[in-house]
C-alpha cells in the first residue's frame, strides 16, 4: 500500500498511506462501537423492563431485536427544529463537540495485548483530557438553545462534571501509583496473575469512587440532574430534535461504554482472565465491560434522583477527602514491607 | 518541497493565529472564550509535533478541561449588551496597537538571547517517556521551587474562598449533614391514645 501511495503522491506517499491505515483502524473501532451503543439502548430497555416487571420492546423483529434500528431510522427522518432565537452555528456545533471526545478517547484503549490504535506513553492522561472536554457539548448546547431549561441544565452539568472530575482524577492517581505507568496497556499487564492481583483489591475505595464518579460524569441516573425531567423538562437538550438529539444520546451511551471499559482495564484486569490457567482473551474484557454496563442500568432502575446540593456534598466533602487519604495511605504502605500488596 | 510535518505545523499555526485574533475581535464574549479554547487546542497540537506529549495533554486537561469551563460558566451568565461592547473599539485601537507592538519587540529581544537559542530535540530523549523525565526533574532538582509554587497556589485558593465566603443572614440554606443524619425518632412520634369519638360528638352538639 505504501509503495502504491508513493507512486501516486510522490514523497508524501508514505505519510498518506500511514494516515489511511490509521483511518481504517479508526473505522474498525468506531463501527462496532456505534453498533454496541445501539444495542446498549435495547439492553437498557429490556433490563429496566424486567426489573419493573414489564416486557420491554418486543414488537419490531424477533423479541424486539430490531427496535434500535427502527429508532435510529425514526430519528433520522425527523425534522431538526432550529429555535429562532438560538445561536445557529453553536447550536449545531454542540452535538459534534459532545460526540467527538467520546469517540476520540477510544484511540488509546487497548483491546488486547498490543491491539490498540495509538500506543502512547501518557494514554491515561490523554483519556482524562478527552473526558474533561466532553462537557463543552453540554454547556454550548444549553447556551446556544437560548432557553431557560436548557441553560439551567447546562449550568448544573458544568458544575457537576467539574467537581466529579477531581475525584475521578485522584482515583486514577492511585492506579498509576500501583502500576508505575501512565500507559493503559502497561497498567493491565501490571495486574497479571489471577484475579487476586487486580488493582480492585488494594484500591477498593478508589474503585467504588471511580465508578460512582463515572456515573456522575456521564450524566446518568441517579446523577442526571442536567436532564431532570421533573424540574427542567429535558435539560440541556430540550430544544434538540431528530438526529441532533440522537447524537447527544449516542454520546451519552458511548461515554458509558468508555468509562466501563476504563474501569475494567484499570481495576479489573482488562483482557486478563481471572484464573491464570484459563487463556487471556478479548472476551474477558467484553464480559467485564458488559457487567459494569449492567450496573449502570441497574442503578438507573433502582435509585431515585439525587438532589443537587447532595450531589455537590458527595463530590466535594466525601469523595475528594477519601481519595486523598487513600493515596497517602498507599504511598505510605509502599514504603513498608507490605508494599508488594500494592503493585 | 515541504514535508507532511511542516504542512501540519502550518495548518495548526494558521488556525492558532486566526482563533487568537477572533478572541480579541469577536463581539460576543462566549464566542471569544470558545475561540480561546480552539487556540489552546492548536497550541497543544504544535507541542505534540515537538513530541512534548505531556505538556500538550496537560494543556488540554487543565486549560481546556477546567479553566475555560469555569470561564464559560461565568461568561454565559452575564447579561451582555452587544452594542455597548463594540463601542470605543477604534478609540482604543492606537493605544492597544502601541502596547501590542511594545510587547512584540520585547518578546523578540528575549527570544534572541543565548538562553533561548534552543537546539532541536535530542534524539536520545525521544525514546524516554517525557512524563517520567519531567516528573523526575520536578521532584528532585526543582523540588523546592515546585513546593513553593504549590504553597503560593494554596494561599491563592484560601484567599479566594475567604474573599467570597459571605453568608447572607436571611439565607434559607439547608444543612445537608443534618438532613442525612436525621433519625426516624426525630421526625415521627408515635402516641398511644384513645379514639376521639366522644370529643367529636360533643363538638357537633355545641354547634347546634
Q: Tens digit of pLDDT for each residue in A4-46?
A: 666 666 666 677 888 888 888 888 888 988 889 988 989 898 9
Interchain contact, A133 vs B65, CB within 8 Å: yes
B154 CB within 8 Å of a chain A CB: no
Interchain contact, A125 vs B61, CB within 8 Å: yes
Collect all residues of chain B within an 8 Å Cβ-Cβ radius of residue A165: 65-66
Residue of chain B whose alpha carbon sits nearest to that of A309:
B176
Interchain contact, A158 vs B69, CB within 8 Å: yes
In the prediction, which pLDDT does B1 show? 56
Interchain contact, A125 vs B57, CB within 8 Å: yes
Compare CB distances from B57 to A15, A129, A135 and report the shortest one's residue.
A129
Residue of chain B whose alpha carbon sits nearest to that of A136:
B69
Interchain contact, A121 vs B129, CB within 8 Å: yes
Decide if A121 contacts A182 (C-beta within 8 A): yes
Collect all residues of chain B within an 8 Å Cβ-Cβ radius of residue A12: 4
**Distance of alpha carbon A97 from its chain centroid, rounded?**
15
Residue of chain B whose alpha carbon sits nearest to that of A126:
B57
Q: Select, from the ranges A306-310, B63-67, B103-107, B195-199, the one with the highest average predicted confidence (pLDDT).
A: B103-107
Query: How far apart, in whole angstroms, are the C-alpha atoms of residue A222 and residue A206?
Result: 19
pLDDT tens figures, A259-281 = 999 999 888 888 888 887 877 78
In the prediction, which pLDDT does B207 show? 56
Residue B196 has pLDDT above 90, yes or no: no
Interchain contact, A122 vs B129, CB within 8 Å: yes
Nine cell digits for residue A146: 437560548
B48 CB within 8 Å of a chain A CB: no
The average confidence (pLDDT) of chain A is: 84
Query: How far apart, in whole angstroms, are the C-alpha atoms of residue A23 and residue A20?
Result: 5
Query: How far apart, in whole angstroms, are the C-alpha atoms of residue B181 and residue B178?
Result: 5
Interchain contact, A90 vs B34, CB within 8 Å: yes
In the prediction, which pLDDT does A304 show? 85
The average confidence (pLDDT) of chain B is: 81
Residue A152 burial by CB count (10 A; 0-12/13-18/19+): exposed, middle or buried? buried
Query: How far apart, in whole angstroms, are the C-alpha atoms of residue A87 and residue A239?
Result: 12
Proportion of chain A above pLDDT 90, given as a percent: 7
Decide if B64 contacts B45 (C-beta within 8 A): no
B176 CB within 8 Å of a chain A CB: yes
Proportion of chain B above pLDDT 70, given as a percent: 84
Compare CB distances from A126 to B1, B57, B69 and report the shortest one's residue.
B57
pLDDT tens figures, A95-121 = 888 888 888 888 888 888 777 777 787
Nine cell digits for residue A141: 448546547
- The C-alpha angle A264, A269, A273, rounded to 5 degrees, equals 115
Mean pLDDT of A300-329: 87
Does residue A89 or residue B82 have the better pLDDT? Answer: A89
Compare CB distances from B1 to A11, A139, A161 and report the shortest one's residue.
A11
Residue A339 has pLDDT above 80, yes or no: no
B73 CB within 8 Å of a chain A CB: yes
pLDDT tens figures, A43-80 = 898 999 998 888 888 888 788 888 888 888 888 888 88
Compare CB distances from B64 to A16, A122, A133 and report the shortest one's residue.
A133
Query: What was the ipTM of the complex prediction?
Result: 0.79
Mean pLDDT of A173-184: 85
Interchain contact, A309 vs B174, CB within 8 Å: yes
In the prediction, which pLDDT does B127 show? 65
Is the whole-model pTM more than 0.95? no
Interchain contact, A159 vs B73, CB within 8 Å: yes
In the prediction, which pLDDT does B18 show? 93
Query: How far apart, in whole angstroms, are the C-alpha atoms of residue B127 and residue B132?
Result: 11
Interchain contact, A132 vs B57, CB within 8 Å: no
Interchain contact, A162 vs B69, CB within 8 Å: yes
In the prediction, which pLDDT does B98 show? 92
B60 CB within 8 Å of a chain A CB: yes
Looking up cell 475528594, which residue turns up? A320
B174 CB within 8 Å of a chain A CB: yes
Residue B155 has pLDDT above 90, yes or no: yes
Does residue A256 or residue A11 have the better pLDDT? Answer: A256
For the ranges A319-333, B64-78, B82-96, the lowest mean pLDDT is seen at B82-96
Amino acid at each position: 500500500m505504501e509503495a502504491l501511495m508513493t507512486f501516486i503522491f510522490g514523497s508524501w506517499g508514505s505519510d498518506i498511506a500511514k494516515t489511511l491505515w490509521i483511518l481504517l483502524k479508526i473505522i474498525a473501532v468506531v463501527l462496532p462501537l456505534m453498533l454496541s451503543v445501539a444495542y446498549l439502548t435495547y439492553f437498557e430497555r429490556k433490563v429496566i423492563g424486567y426489573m419493573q416487571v414489564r416486557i420491554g420492546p418486543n414488537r419490531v423483529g424477533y423479541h424486539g431485536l430490531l427496535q434500535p434500528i427502527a429508532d435510529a431510522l425514526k430519528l433520522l427522518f425527523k425534522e431538526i427544529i432550529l429555535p429562532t432565537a438560538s445561536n445557529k452555528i453553536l447550536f449545531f456545533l454542540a452535538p459534534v463537540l459532545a460526540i467527538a471526545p467520546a469517540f476520540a478517547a477510544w484511540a488509546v484503549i487497548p483491546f488486547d495485548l498490543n491491539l490498540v490504535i495509538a500506543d502512547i506513553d501518557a494514554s491515561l492522561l490523554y483519556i482524562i483530557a478527552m473526558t474533561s472536554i466532553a462537557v463543552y457539548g453540554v454547556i454550548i448546547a444549553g447556551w446556544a438553545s437560548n432557553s431557560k431549561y436548557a441553560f439551567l441544565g447546562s449550568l448544573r452539568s458544568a458544575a457537576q462534571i467539574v467537581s466529579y472530575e477531581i475525584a475521578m482524577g485522584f482515583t486514577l492517581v492511585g492506579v498509576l501509583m500501583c502500576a508505575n505507568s501512565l500507559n493503559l496497556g502497561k497498567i493491565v499487564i501490571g495486574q497479571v496473575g489471577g484475579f487476586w492481583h487486580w488493582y480492585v483489591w488494594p484500591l477498593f475505595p478508589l474503585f467504588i469512587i471511580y465508578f460512582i464518579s463515572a456515573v456522575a460524569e456521564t450524566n446518568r441516573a441517579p446523577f442526571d440532574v442536567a436532564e431532570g425531567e421533573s424540574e427542567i423538562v429535558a435539560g440541556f437538550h430540550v430544544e434538540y430534535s431528530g438526529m441532533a438529539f440522537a447524537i447527544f444520546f449516542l454520546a451519552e451511551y458511548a461515554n458509558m461504554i468508555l468509562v466501563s471499559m476504563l474501569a475494567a482495564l484499570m481495576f479489573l484486569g482488562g483482557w486478563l482472565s481471572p484464573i491464570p490457567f484459563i487463556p487471556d482473551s478479548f472476551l474477558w474484557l467484553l464480559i467485564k465491560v458488559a457487567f459494569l454496563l449492567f450496573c449502570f442500568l441497574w442503578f438507573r432502575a433502582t435509585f431515585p434522583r439525587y438532589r443537587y446540593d447532595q450531589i455537590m456534598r458527595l463530590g466535594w466533602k466525601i469523595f475528594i477527602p477519601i481519595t486523598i487519604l487513600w493515596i497517602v495511605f498507599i504511598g505510605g504502605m509502599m514504603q513498608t514491607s507490605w508494599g508488594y500488596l500494592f503493585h | 518541497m515541504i514535508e507532511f510535518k511542516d504542512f501540519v505545523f502550518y495548518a495548526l499555526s494558521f488556525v492558532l493565529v486566526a482563533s487568537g485574533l477572533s478572541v480579541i475581535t469577536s463581539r460576543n464574549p462566549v464566542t471569544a472564550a470558545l475561540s480561546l479554547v480552539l487556540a489552546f487546542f492548536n497550541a497543544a497540537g504544535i507541542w505534540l509535533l515537538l513530541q512534548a506529549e505531556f505538556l500538550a495533554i496537560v494543556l488540554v486537561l487543565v486549560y481546556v478541561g477546567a479553566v475555560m469551563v469555569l470561564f464559560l460558566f461565568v461568561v454565559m451568565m452575564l447579561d451582555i449588551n452587544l452594542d455597548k461592547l463594540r463601542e470605543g473599539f477604534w478609540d482604543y485601537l492606537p493605544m492597544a496597537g502601541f502596547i501590542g507592538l511594545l510587547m512584540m519587540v520585547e518578546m523578540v529581544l528575549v527570544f534572541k538571547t543565548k538562553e533561548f537559542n534552543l537546539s532541536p530535540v535530542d534524539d536520545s530523549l525521544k525514546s524516554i517517556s517525557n512524563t517520567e523525565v519531567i516528573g523526575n526533574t520536578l521532584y528532585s532538582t526543582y523540588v523546592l521551587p515546585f513546593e513553593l509554587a504549590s504553597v503560593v497556589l494554596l494561599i491563592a485558593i484560601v484567599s479566594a474562598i475567604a474573599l467570597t465566603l459571605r453568608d447572607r443572614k436571611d439565607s434559607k440554606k439547608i444543612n445537608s449533614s443534618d438532613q442525612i443524619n436525621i433519625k426516624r425518632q426525630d421526625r415521627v412520634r408515635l402516641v398511644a391514645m384513645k379514639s376521639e369519638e366522644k370529643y367529636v360528638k360533643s363538638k357537633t352538639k355545641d354547634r347546634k
